[in-house]
């Protein structure tokens, strides 16, 4: 049986890992390569690297980090942040990424999804969506959660899947950084129709939040989090053991 | 020395890096001479079957692979590289493969609760006899899969299966011709153990 995946997410700026609350107040904490090795050793099923630098210097630092990680860590790597063209796909795939996550770039030009899927395959294209409730409806936000696009989130995700996205990362801005649990209501709305894997993101504060996620919504394929792993509040090894105890299929890494 | 066949399909960086970690020297090459001189050969691949087969033919490597196989050198196909070993595939039509192992590549059966692609970590089951490729593994070890099509009609060659709605061919072997549907280079420590075992197989051993 396929396991539920646990995915630490590393936001990288100027070659360092950062994590903020509600997307504001970023601070630098650690070497991404070292963190990636540690996560892989304790059972992370996949890693996501988001490039949150804007400068070209920062971009070069990011690809260096990625290359070094791919040389040492042998689990799937997804890369996102500033992906706007097939050239961007090519750049990160050459550095050892397995999947590429698109967000604002796909909103600006939805054909980016289908063009990339045609060249690299559906499995390579991850659609990452930042969603926030506005007047009772799910709305897509762009630019790191700062800009309301006016798009209906469920319509956008359906379109993304039709265009060839092989996976959805659903990040709830409403629960992100709050550490009170995943946005189960929003996730249920998406898993109800999604034919591709759905990764829950935003809101995990403790092990119990992951257990609740997978027990309440068996259609969710993976849980993604950042700061709780970086700051050691949740150990991935403990989390996997707890999942196993709760009869949630999990890959346990032998120490 | 292992040669990773470069025919313009997929990212070979992780594969080369993982072989380095298990102490196996490797080169990425599309040069027939280099491939023929290898101790063992890996045929990688991601993407669509037809494109990959066309690229293999265009690069003139089909005969080279045939030669490698007839010399008794271990050949390991990974993911799409494994699918190419079969007679044909039904991915977007019907396309002829290398025909090294009897069987065909067909869509994974769609069932309630089964999402396509089959993407993630799934457990291996070896049956009665564990192939030498898996000699460092235990029953139920997890490896990383990403695929929408799978080999069928190849029962006598199957050396590992996984469960995804129904039993899915995870690995095959016919003499010195080996194939993994999953990605050993993305399967953490378990994957490295498989690559180590492969690197230890000698020419003519299988």
ipTM score assigned to the predicted complex: 0.92
Please give the distance of CA A42 from its chain centroid, rounded to a whole number: 19
Residues of chain B contacting A74 with CB distance shorter than 8 Å: 14, 17-18, 21, 185-188, 191-192
**Measured in whole angstroms, how far is the alpha carbon of residue B122 from the centre of its chain?**
16
At a CB cut-off of 8 Å and minimum separation 6, what does A34 contact?
Answer: none
pLDDT higher than threshold 70 for residue A26: no
Where on the phi/psi map is residue B42: left (φ > 0), alpha (ψ -120 to 50), or beta? Answer: beta
Among B13, B122, B146, the residue with its CB nearest the CB of A70 is B13
User: Does the pLDDT of residue A17 top 60, yes or no?
Assistant: yes
Question: How far is it, in rounded angstroms, from Cα A9 to Cα B120?
Answer: 17
pLDDT per residue over B101-143, tens digit each?
A: 999 999 999 888 888 889 999 999 998 899 999 999 999 999 9
Full-model pTM: 0.93
Residue B47's pLDDT band, with cuts at 50, 70 and 90, is confident
Alpha helices in chain B (DSSP H): 13-21, 32-37, 49-58, 61-70, 80-83, 188-200
| Fold assignment, B2-200 | Rossmann fold (3.40.50)
pLDDT > 70: percent of chain A = 95
In tens, the pLDDT along A94-114 reads 888 999 999 999 999 999 999
CB–CB contact B185 A74 (8 Å):
yes
B185 is annotated as an active-site residue: yes
Q: Which of B79, B91, B118, B147 is catalytic?
A: B79
Output the pLDDT for position A21.
47
User: Does the bond joining B48 to the residue before it have cis omega, within 30 degrees of 0?
Assistant: no
Crossing angle of helices A56-72 and A86-94, in 10° steps, is 40
| DSSP string over A107-119 | HH-THHHHHHHHH
Helix or strand holding residue B3 (H, E): strand B2-5
Q: How are strands ordered across the β-sheet holding B95-96? A: B95-96, B86-89, B101-107, B149-152
The pLDDT of residue A22 is 44
Q: A187-197 pLDDT, tens per residue?
A: 999 999 999 99
Beta bridge partners of A137: A134
Point out the residue among B18, B115, B142 whose CB comes nearest to the CB of A195: B115
Among A5-9, A19-23, A50-54, A174-178, which is the least confidently predicted range? A19-23
Chosen for mutation from A38, A44, A74 (greatest number of chain B CBs closer than 10 Å) is A74
A interface mutation test: which of B142, B162, B187, B191 has the most A CBs within 10 A? B142
Cβ contact A253–B189 (<8 Å): yes
Domain ranges of chain B: 2-200
**∠ CA B146-B125-B140, rounded to 5°:** 85
Residues B184, B24 contacting (CB under 8 angstroms):
no
As a whole number of angstroms, the distance between CA B95 and CA B78 comes to: 18
Whether A28 shows a pLDDT value over 70: the answer reads no
More confident site: A55 or A249: A249
pLDDT at B66: 97
Q: Please, what CATH class does the domain formed by A5-245 belong to? A: alpha beta
pLDDT, position A24? 43
Which pLDDT tens digit goes with each residue over A206-221? 999 999 999 999 999 9
B118 touches chain A (CB under 8 A): yes
User: For residue B8, what pLDDT is reported?
Assistant: 81
């Amino acid at each position: 049986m396929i396991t539920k995946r646990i995915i630490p997410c590393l936001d990288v700026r100027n070659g360092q890992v950062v994590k903020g609350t509600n997307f504001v107040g970023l601070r630098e904490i650690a070497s991404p390569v070292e963190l990636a090795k540690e996560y892989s050793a304790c059972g992370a099923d996949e890693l996501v690297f988001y490039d949150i630098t804007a400068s070209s210097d920062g971009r070069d630092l990011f690809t260096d980090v990625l290359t070094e990680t791919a040389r040492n860590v042998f689990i799937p790597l997804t890369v996102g942040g500033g992906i706007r063209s097939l050239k961007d796909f090519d750049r990160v795939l050459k550095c050892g990424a397995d999947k590429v996550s698109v967000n604002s770039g796909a909103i600006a030009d939805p054909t980016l999804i289908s063009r990339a899927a045609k060249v690299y395959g559906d499995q390579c294209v991850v659609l990452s969506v930042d969603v926030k409730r506005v007047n009772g409806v799910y709305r897509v936000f762009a630019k790191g959660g700062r800009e309301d696009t006016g798009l209906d989130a469920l319509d956008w995700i359906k379109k993304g899947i039709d265009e060839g996205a092989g996976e959805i990362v659903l990040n709830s801005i409403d629960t992100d950084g709050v550490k009170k649990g995943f946005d189960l209501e929003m996730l249920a709305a998406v898993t109800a129709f999604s034919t591709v894997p759905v990764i829950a993101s935003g809101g995990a504060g403790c092990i119990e939040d992951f257990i609740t996620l997978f027990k309440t919504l068996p259609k969710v394929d993976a849980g993604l989090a950042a700061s709780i792993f970086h700051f050691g509040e949740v150990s991935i090894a403990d989390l996997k053991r707890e999942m196993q105890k709760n009869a949630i299929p999990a890959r346990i890494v032998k120490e | 020395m292992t040669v990773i066949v470069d025919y313009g399909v997929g990212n070979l960086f992780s594969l080369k890096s993982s072989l380095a970690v298990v102490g196996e020297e490797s080169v990425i090459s599309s040069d027939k001479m280099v491939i023929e001189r290898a101790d063992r050969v890996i045929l990688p691949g991601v993407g669509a079957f037809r494109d990959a087969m066309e690229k293999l033919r265009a690069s003139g490597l089909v005969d080279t692979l045939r030669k490698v196989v007839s010399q008794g050198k271990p050949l390991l196909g990974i993911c799409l590289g494994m699918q190419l070993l079969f007679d044909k595939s039904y991915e977007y039509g019907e396309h002829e493969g290398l025909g090294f192992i009897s069987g065909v590549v067909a869509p994974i059966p769609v069932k309630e609760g089964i999402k396509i692609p089959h993407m993630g970590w799934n457990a291996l089951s070896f049956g009665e006899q564990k192939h030498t490729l898996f000699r460092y593994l235990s029953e139920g070890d997890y490896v990383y899969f990403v695929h929408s099509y799978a080999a069928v009609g190849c029962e006598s060659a199957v050396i590992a299966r996984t469960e995804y709605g129904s039993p899915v061919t995870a690995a095959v072997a016919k003499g010195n011709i080996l194939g993994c549907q999953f990605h050993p280079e993305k399967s953490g420590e378990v994957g490295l153990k498989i690559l180590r075992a492969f690197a230890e197989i000698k020419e003519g051993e299988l």
